[in-house]
């Protein structure tokens, strides 16, 4: 509890600096480019167009899910993946990226993953505006289910910010951990239902195992808003499992912070 209080107090005391550093993180990531942070939107947009063309006119031409073209079904989960992927990899290396804040000044270490997460969240929100426009242009207009997108964005941010605190502390101690995370990210992508519908799995126990994958839950949740038209409380088992995973991730983040915080400055 003392560790939790410390982290909360640091976030409250440094809230203005966290917002400023989140903006600076976006600028730093795309510094040297003429378009700046706009490149954060250009790359996903181009990938979405490529996948739309491939699945509309090539690989799955004519196929669909729940009456939606496959490419349109894919987009919400794919956009969620961009945020999750950035937090998995860049979140794990956040402490090393901002080591100067730890070694050269008195800065609350626990806030580093938070402002990195906020910078990714800002880009994600801009991308979701593009997703909404795509659905509107294709004559799939907003409805009441879109409101719960705010819920999925919130729990996604909380989970992966807790992950970033846990992983960045371990990553600061060992670069091997960062390399491990990067090496398994592709596997997570293909095993998490980003490009395929987990509801089509006919093996009951395997489908239940996927409930324990937070990436699967978030991607499916985004599609519940745009495609399946299902409220998050209508799937209580998946919701309770995710909440349990969220609590475990917060506990791991608190544990790693308590154990490693004193050693991080010397290691970096």
Per-residue pLDDT tens digits for 165-207? 999 999 998 889 999 999 999 999 998 988 888 878 878 888 8
With cut-offs at 50, 70 and 90, classify the pLDDT of residue 63. Answer: low
Q: Residue 60: what pLDDT?
A: 54
35 pLDDT above the threshold of 60: no
The conformation of residue 64, written as its DSSP 8-state character, comes to E
23-29, long-range: CB within 8 Å, 24+ apart, which pairs? 23/119, 25/115, 25/116, 25/118, 25/119, 26/119, 26/122, 26/123, 29/119
In total, the chain counts a number of residues equal to 268
Helix (H) or strand (E) holding 69: strand 68-69
Query: Domain segments of the chain: what residues?
Result: 2-267
Closest CA to 84 of 131, 44, 129: 44
Query: pTM of the prediction?
Result: 0.90
Distance CA 266, CA 201 (A): 49
Read off the pLDDT band of 37 (50, 70, 90).
low
Distance CA(61)–CA(1), nearest Å, equals 55
Per-residue pLDDT at 195? 84
Is pLDDT of 61 > 70?
no
Cα 7 to chain center, whole Å? 21
Least reliable range by pLDDT among 31-45, 78-92, 236-250: 31-45
Q: Which residues contact 119 (CB under 8 A, 6 or more apart)?
A: 22, 23, 25, 26, 29
Q: What residues form DSSP beta bridges with 69?
A: 64
Output the six-digit token pair for 81. 């993946």
Summarize pLDDT for 118-161 with one digit per residue, the tens.
Answer: 999 998 998 899 899 989 988 888 999 999 999 999 999 999 99
Q: Residue 210 in contact with residue 193, Cβ under 8 Å? A: yes
């Amino acid at each position: 509890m003392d560790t939790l209080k410390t982290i909360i107090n640091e976030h409250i005391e440094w809230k203005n600096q966290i917002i400023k550093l989140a903006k600076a993180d976006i600028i730093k990531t795309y510094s040297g480019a003429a378009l700046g942070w706009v490149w954060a939107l250009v790359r996903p947009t181009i990938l979405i167009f490529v996948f739309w063309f491939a699945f509309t006119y090539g690989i799955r031409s004519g196929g669909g899910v729940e009456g939606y073209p496959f490419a349109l079904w894919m987009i919400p989960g794919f956009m969620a993946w961009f945020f999750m992927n950035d937090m998995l990899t860049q979140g794990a290396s956040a402490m090393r990226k901002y080591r100067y804040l730890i070694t050269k000044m008195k800065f609350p270490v626990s806030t580093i993953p938070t402002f990195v997460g906020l910078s990714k969240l800002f880009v994600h929100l801009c991308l979701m505006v593009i997703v909404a426009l795509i659905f509107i242009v294709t004559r799939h207009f907003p409805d009441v289910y879109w409101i719960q997108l705010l819920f999925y964005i919130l729990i996604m941010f909380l989970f992966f910010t807790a992950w970033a605190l846990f992983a960045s502390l371990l990553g600061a101690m060992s670069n091997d951990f960062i390399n491990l995370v990067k090496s398994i990210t592709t596997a997570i992508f293909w095993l998490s239902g980003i490009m395929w519908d987990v509801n089509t799995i006919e093996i009951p126990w395997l489908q239940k195992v996927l409930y324990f994958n937070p990436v699967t839950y978030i991607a499916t949740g985004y599609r519940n808003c745009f495609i399946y038209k299902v409220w998050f409380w209508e799937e209580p088992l998946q919701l309770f499992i995710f909440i349990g995973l969220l609590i475990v991730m917060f506990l791991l983040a608190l544990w790693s912070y308590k154990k490693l915080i004193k050693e991080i400055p010397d290691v970096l």
